[in-house]
Amino acid sequence: MPGSAQSNSGEGSSGQLGFDASDKPHAYDALRQREYFEGVLGRRVIAFAIDIAIILTLTIAVYLLLFVAGIFTLGLTWLLFGVAFPAVALAYNAYTLSRPQSATIGMRSTELQMRTWYGAPMYSLLAAFHALLYYFSVTIFTPFILLMAPFNGRKRCLHDFLAGTVVINTDARARANKRS
Higher pLDDT, 98 or 180: 98
CA-CA distance, 37 to 170, in Å (whole number)? 10
Question: Considering only CA atoms, which of 177, 38, 170, 21 is closest in space to residue 100?
Answer: 170
Q: Residue 177: what pLDDT?
A: 87
User: Is 63 a residue whose pLDDT tops 90?
Assistant: yes
pLDDT band at 105 (very low <50, low <70, confident <90, very high): very high
What predicted TM-score, i.e. pTM, was given to this entire model?
0.80
Percent of the chain's residues with pLDDT above 90? 62
Q: What one-letter code names the amino acid at 142?
A: T
CA-CA distance, 110 to 42, in Å (whole number)? 10
User: Is 151 a residue whose pLDDT tops 60?
Assistant: yes
Q: Residue 26: what pLDDT?
A: 53
pLDDT band at 68 (very low <50, low <70, confident <90, very high): very high
Q: Residue 24: what pLDDT?
A: 52
Phi, psi of 27 (to 5 degrees): -145, 140
